[in-house]
Amino acid sequence: MSVTYTYSAPEGESKTVDVSFTDGDITHNRQVNAVFTDGVYDADATETRVAEVAKGVEHKIAVGVIREQEDVPDPIDPAELP
């Protein structure tokens, strides 16, 4: 299955976009550097960059480096330990 992804343009002073990559039941979230040309956000170049990262994510899913996360219990508050 091919990886799909969604993201929005960076906001404020942010230089990254938060991307959600999905392949079947696996969702992988990470930040990707946005592309700026002459200090202005370049949506087309950022799309190219995110698509390149998606290829890497797809390969990592295929070889098992990125996989569906198992349910992880909530962390224990150290103050509650005996």
**Tell me: the pLDDT tens digits for 4-57?**
999 999 999 999 999 999 999 999 999 999 999 999 999 999 999 999 999 999
Q: Is residue 11 part of a domain?
A: yes
Question: Is position 73 within any domain?
Answer: no
In this prediction the pTM is: 0.81
Domain presence at residue 18:
yes
Which domain range does residue 57 map to?
Answer: 4-67
CB 22 within 8 Å of CB 5: yes
Domain count across the chain? 1
Q: SS3 letters for 9-47?
A: CCCCCCCEEEEEEEECCEEEEEEEECCEECCEECHHHHH
Provide the 10 A C-beta neighbour count for residue 58.
18
Query: Per the domain annotation, does 62 fall within a domain?
Result: yes
In a domain, 21, yes or no: yes
Q: Look at residue 64 and give its three-state secondary structure.
A: coil
Q: Tell whether 75 is covered by a domain.
A: no
Report the pLDDT value the prediction gives residue 77, as an integer from 0 to 100: 77
